[in-house]
Chains A and B, each alone.
Chain A
């Protein structure tokens, strides 16, 4: 089952848009600048709609089935948030309208800043970054600015655990820092001895995800913060795994100086097939002046003019690293997250974390006797298995992943974190029912059995999807990156 390209259903003269008549006299067009050819498709509206609706049928999505993709928090995306973000008073507002015309938008941003502060324990928030990696980059630029501002120019190294997301070292390098990898110990925590050995006056900071990418809460977190602060470094928190602890622990209480939130993970905004997201950054008081702006502040009227109400206005912090994008951030994403948080309240958020952790541990217990579990501990919102099934040596994790599709499940994250060979990283999220978890566990157990008895079934999987396994070597060796007639 494949769908032709939109270019292939194109026929000269068709158009799916109806434009208004020109109601002014024509002006002379600057001939030298005009283009001759515009090779865009030409389709009617019915053909256009069928094309995209058919394409949509080829996707697995949260709304079509279980999506236990580790590190991505593929939870249900509440529909009320979609309704709210599309209200005309939000969707049809220009970012350069004066502040007094956009008090509603600024109010939402102000409220969200406050909610994220309370959830995290940080003193200040900037909503500007557009994604998690963007937040990391923002945070590391602030680390750089903080040290330089104090005349401390020798801090060139940033410590990153070997279990970290790839974005951590990449964001660090973009700021001109040197990345130093820190080992994990036998329990999956940061190896404290290795950490101490690398902590000196050249350390600008450390990037840490807690719970980490193994789904384990680093028990030594307070000690780690002490060691990093002890050598003058700052501790950066990758908030990708906040879903495990939201409403249960405040990251600032763990010793983090900076952290980004992934609103598209913890706070339920949809992933959109890869984006948009939003990656607000929270910081301690000492770093608040370096935040990227604009951030939103409020003017509280004195008693005489009280009925005029509050006045919200954008503000650029005095030592700001500057803008990290145009305008105010991904406002449409911010509105959805704000609605989600207000809908659930702190008690609801606590239940989110608790049930995310409950679901992950339930699946862990159901699978750990069949699939090797390299770190035998209570996990948080996710856990990592190895695809090296005893007695099925020819089968690789990729085969297990592909076979899962035949059962209607999206595979877990595979081959990450890098420190677990043949890794399968499973994050069920709190929005999945016991029946779904059991069905998934049953499928995983059946696949393990098939791996031993009929490995070919796995090697050739998937069998029931619109397409069979795709040739990604050919795609990379002979890149075909656009349609050409």
Chain B
């Protein structure tokens, strides 16, 4: 066993010191009838065989880098600069625990503080926590937070049908034990028309930017109406889009959350990702999750600590704002390195590239017979195309041409059968885009 250093002599000396004959004697408190059962287990694999085994399994996947990929829908294929994996692969970062002892954890603490600062800059908010599990759970916790901010007196949540379907499902799971009702599933509504559902019983109004269909919905006047009713406005935002478009904080949002995966985290079959979570300073004591704050040490030097922890479960137990303990710190580090690498100009430039390429594809598709670009509102890097055939069928045909097609919207919205959500990023060259257009023509 390569990871257990004990020699026979070590074991003998230790058992002798403890005063027992066999290691098994240390398990005397365990009821004898359940000790050492028979297990059905495969034999152990040496490192070389193990690697071959997993390489075989991974080769059984079609990885997106071998295809022309136009699939997004909440998980995005952006290029990850080499520095990101280089930094997060440093074992001083990845083999550390939660920075409970600040004197020997300044690396993690400062990196998280910088992450929090960058998320605030991006979202236009005043405080951000050190991350949630993913975009879906960040939305769910935002809803629970709004309910708590309003002292559990308001029992209605108005959520746009174009918040990511899995985020909506997750939120419904999260509030099962709470006295909360989620409304707003009518897909004929947009953000503006849904507003009429926000009333004095409403804890929060939840919209997504860009929404699940890729559209930039008109947010003007929303904050005024929601606040007028005494409710909170939660915006689920795409962090790359925020490189180009106005921050939700500028529109008056109260909580801004989202999926941080596009910021330097690999697709990795859906996880681990990170949920980012930002809000206004006045709500900081109701926010879940860890927070890093700046302070000084005994000699007056600047340093960082976990702070306001009396909100958290390890102190407040059943009265805590949330049960979250482990978060996605390493993914947040990746996001921070990514944001620092692209920086002020790089992120804007990247977002513009995605925008222009997506619009180029949309224009080309709109020239095709049998296809219709359904999206009429402004959009970012995704838009909706009505196809002449079921999307699953389309995608199989595209796959024969080495193209991974878009997301089948009929899965979540029955009235949108044959509607494909197409995603374009900087990874898609003009050649790829033109190839897709040609392929669509062929398979129509």
Contact = CB atoms under 8 A, between A and B. Distances in A.
Q: A and B: direct contact (Cβ < 8 Å)?
A: yes
B329 A170 contact: no
B107 A325 contact: no
Given A19-B353, A94-B267, A378-B28, A52 B337 contact: yes
B327 A105 contact: no
Nearest to B179: A176
Interface string A378-397: 10100000000000000000
Interface in A21-78: 22-27, 29-30, 33-35, 38-43, 45, 48-49, 51-53, 55-64, 67, 69, 72, 74-78
Given A248-B35, A270-B94, A378-B28, A358 B23 contact: yes
Interface string A318-347: 000111111111111101000100111111
Interface stretch (B59-67, B183-191, B367-375): B59-67
A223 B29 CA distance: 13
A131 B34 contact: no
B317 A169 contact: yes
A27 B360 contact: yes
Contact of B170 (A78, A136, A325, A467): A325
Nearest to A434: B10
Given A30-B216, A42-B343, A166-B317, A479 B293 contact: yes
B433 A24 contact: yes
A39 B114 CA distance: 12
B75 A95 contact: yes
Interface in B223-261: 242-247, 250, 259
Contacts of B320: 166, 170, 173
Nearest to B98: A274
A377 interface: yes
A278 B291 CA distance: 21
B416 interface: no
A16 B342 CA distance: 6
B349 interface: yes
B266 A61 contact: no
Nearest to B307: A475
B307 A348 contact: no
A15 to B, nearest CB: 5
Contacts of B430: 23-24
B357 A472 contact: no
A467 B312 CA distance: 25
B216 A271 contact: no
A103 B31 CA distance: 41
Interface residues of B, number: 206
Interface stretch (A195-203, A280-288, A361-369): A361-369
Contacts of A94: 64, 69, 71, 75, 77, 267, 269, 404
Interface string B19-41: 11001101111110011110111
B301 A467 contact: yes
A81 B177 CA distance: 38
B79 to A, nearest CB: 8
Interface stretch (B118-126, B153-161, B194-202): B118-126
B91 interface: yes
A179 interface: yes
A25 B94 CA distance: 42
B318 A172 contact: yes
B117 A59 contact: no
B53 A217 contact: no
B5 A322 contact: no
A177 B130 CA distance: 28
A286 B294 CA distance: 50
Interface string B318-359: 111011111111110100110111111111111011011101
A60 B42 CA distance: 36
B376 interface: no
A93 B54 contact: no
Given A82-B89, A362-B17, A179 B294 contact: no
Contacts of B63: 88-89, 91-93
Contacts of A45: 81, 83, 341
A366 B393 CA distance: 68
A6 interface: yes
Contact of A247 (B6, B39, B172, B250): B39
B116 to A, nearest CB: 5
Given A16-B342, A169-B317, A332 B298 contact: no
Contacts of B102: 467, 470, 472
A59 B108 contact: yes
B103 to A, nearest CB: 4
Contacts of A462: 103-104
B314 A17 contact: no
B101 A411 contact: yes
Interface in B148-194: 164, 166-167, 169-170, 172-174, 176-179
Interface stretch (A229-237, A349-357, A449-457): A349-357
A59 B92 CA distance: 6
A141 B176 CA distance: 8
A17 B263 CA distance: 13
B42 A434 contact: no
A16 B59 CA distance: 33
A282 to B, nearest CB: 15
A101 B303 contact: no
B216 A249 contact: no
Contact of A351 (B4, B298, B314): B4
A84 B93 CA distance: 19
Contacts of B45: 342-343, 345
Given A61-B95, A134-B137, 14 more contacts: A6-B340, A45-B81, A82-B89, A82-B94, A88-B63, A96-B407, A130-B134, A166-B320, A327-B269, A328-B269, A362-B18, A434-B6, A482-B113, A483-B114
25 contacts: A35-B244, A38-B122, A80-B50, A87-B55, A94-B75, A103-B61, A121-B37, A130-B134, A131-B327, A144-B177, A165-B314, A273-B99, A274-B130, A274-B290, A324-B137, A327-B269, A331-B271, A342-B50, A466-B103, A468-B103, A470-B305, A472-B305, A476-B293, A481-B291, A482-B116
Q: Which 9 A-B pairs have the closest CB atoms?
A: A327-B270, A89-B58, A176-B177, A345-B44, A272-B330, A95-B270, A274-B329, A104-B60, A276-B272
